[in-house]
Amino acid sequence: MRYDDDLVAAFVHWTWMRALLHRGWWLVTSVYLVVDAGLTAAQLVLIGSAQGIFALVCEVPAGVLADTISRKWSLVVSQLLMGTAMLATGLVTSFPLLVATQVLWGVSWTFASGADVAWITDELTGPAGLPDGRSAGRISAVLSRAARAELTGSATGLLGIGVLAWATRRDLVIILAGSAMLLLTCYVIVRFSEEHFVPLRTARWSTSWSIFQRGLALVRRSPAILRIFLATFLINGASDAAGRLAPKQLLDLGLPTRVDPVIWLTGLGVVALLIGAVALRLVARRVDGPHAAVSYAVAAAVGGVGMIGLAFAPDSVAASTCLLLVSGIAVPLTRIIGVIWVNSRTTSEVRATVHSFLAQAEYLGEVTCGLGIALIATLVTLPVALGVCAGLFAVTATVMRRAPVSADLG
């Protein structure tokens, strides 16, 4: 039990620290891209689409790597790439170079998505296929706890790194955050053990292909997993585009002139994350099991309402209030429900691979929906583009509302 407790503590603390750095970094970067680099709304979304294309290509190979070589060392690679991309962003302002740094940042996440959940799941339950009812409940509790830690860590990062950027310079703070992310690699190396994973020593190529095929077969025969993939595609496409366009919309509506944009967005982000942490705790027993589909649908509907308000709000204060519904309720709840939904229906030998398929659905949503929304923002108006995002939230709510109460287990 001592070993398990240490692992859970290490996983939760790492999640908290990583969230602190990358969310604080992204807050400053989102302003840096608009104010310092002078990117247009279309360029902001196109960066996300380029990032999504490269991540889409790398996602499954990275997941198979985690299932064949090591989940822990996949996380180490992720940390190294992520820190490098974050640091490099603060050194450039041209659009092509910013595309390159953001693409590298996106690729870094492919080595972590699925590998982190697969690592903690197998180390707590052993590599014995689907967890039983009791262990599955424990894993869901750990993942929910980590999700709350991610939100509180993000709030801390927004506040601390945001204030630091206000007091100093945005590019300097971006570089410091990237350097700290590189140092976090040492924590993973020292604190994460890997006793229940057996890496492949021979026939790695053929076995990797077999793992890919088994993971794909599991997904194909599971209507429940396919449904969450569709929902993830829609809602991530909407939320990613909206997240990149929201600072532009708030700036266009006129943020209060007495407050620096970084401070305003910092406060807004902190409030949203605290709302998310409270929401996750209140619905902790409804993020898995028979209530998960309804909870997902309700969260998506709330996000749709928030997006409509953001698109057509009369001023920045009203738009900020509506944005809280999206970033504080819809995004964190749908994300953790999706992860738990897939994790509980996936066997150990293909767990990271199937989570990578889920991440591919996210990236595919970013690319296809993002390109369409960027085109609308360019040819029509930014509010109309945000209104399309609201429509995608509404469609997602409909998809999940019709999910069967008793979902299959693959």
Are 66 and 115 a contacting pair, CB within 8 Å?
yes
How far does CA 86 lie from the centroid of its chain? 16
pLDDT of residue 200: 63
Tell me the H-state helices in 200-222: 204-220
Domain membership of residue 117 as a residue range: 2-192+211-401
Whether the predicted pLDDT of 201 surpasses 70: no
Tokens 């979304």 belong to residue: 45
Whether the predicted pLDDT of 90 surpasses 90: yes
Q: Is residue 56 part of a domain?
A: yes
d(CA 219, CA 240): 24
How far does CA 50 lie from the centroid of its chain? 17
pLDDT of residue 103: 93
Determine the average pLDDT of the residues in 241-263: 78
Q: Is residue 198 part of a domain?
A: no
Whether the predicted pLDDT of 343 surpasses 70: yes
d(CA 366, CA 45): 9
Whether the predicted pLDDT of 128 surpasses 70: no
Residue bearing the bigger pLDDT, 118 or 390: 390
* Helix axes 331-343 and 351-379, enclosed angle (nearest 10): 150
Are 195 and 71 a contacting pair, CB within 8 Å?
no
d(CA 270, CA 154): 8
Tell me the torsion sign for CA atoms 366, 177, 147, 199.
Answer: positive
Determine the average pLDDT of the residues in 94-105: 94
Q: Is residue 408 part of a domain?
A: no
236 token code pair: 């991530």
Q: Is residue 406 part of a domain?
A: no
pLDDT of residue 75: 94
Determine the average pLDDT of the residues in 221-239: 91
In sequence order, which residues have a C-beta less than 8 Å from that of residue 343 and are 6 or more positions away? 117, 121, 139, 140, 143, 351, 355
Determine the average pLDDT of the residues in 29-44: 85
R_g over Cα of the chain: 20
For residue 404, name the pLDDT band (cuts at 50, 70, 90). Answer: low
For residue 10, name the pLDDT band (cuts at 50, 70, 90). Answer: very high
pLDDT of residue 12: 95
Phi, psi of 53 (to 5 degrees): -65, -50
Please tell me which of 156-160, 214-218, 301-305 the model is most confident about, judged by mean pLDDT.
301-305
pLDDT of residue 215: 85
Q: Domain count of the chain?
A: 1
Whether the predicted pLDDT of 79 surpasses 80: yes
d(CA 58, CA 65): 11
Whether the predicted pLDDT of 1 surpasses 70: no
Over residues 275-305, the pLDDT tens digits come to 988 888 888 777 777 778 889 999 999 999 9
Determine the average pLDDT of the residues in 150-167: 89
Residue 33 belongs to a domain with what CATH number? 1.20.1250.20
pLDDT of residue 187: 95
For residue 87, name the pLDDT band (cuts at 50, 70, 90). Answer: very high
337: three-class secondary structure by DSSP: helix
d(CA 41, CA 47): 10
Determine the average pLDDT of the residues in 316-341: 90
Tell me the H-state helices in 221-285: 223-253, 261-282
In sequence order, which residues have a C-beta less than 8 Å from that of residue 223 and are 6 or more positions away? 407, 408
d(CA 267, CA 215): 42
Please tell me which of 77-91, 110-124, 234-248 the model is most confident about, judged by mean pLDDT.
77-91
Mean pLDDT score of the chain: 85
pTM of the model as a whole: 0.76
Q: Is residue 409 part of a domain?
A: no
For residue 96, name the pLDDT band (cuts at 50, 70, 90). Answer: very high
pLDDT of residue 406: 46
Over residues 361-398, the pLDDT tens digits come to 887 887 788 778 878 888 888 899 999 999 999 999 99
Tell me the H-state helices in 90-114: 95-110
For residue 149, name the pLDDT band (cuts at 50, 70, 90). Answer: very high
Whether the predicted pLDDT of 117 surpasses 80: yes
User: Among residues 42, 26, 134, which one has the least CA distance to residue 95?
Assistant: 42
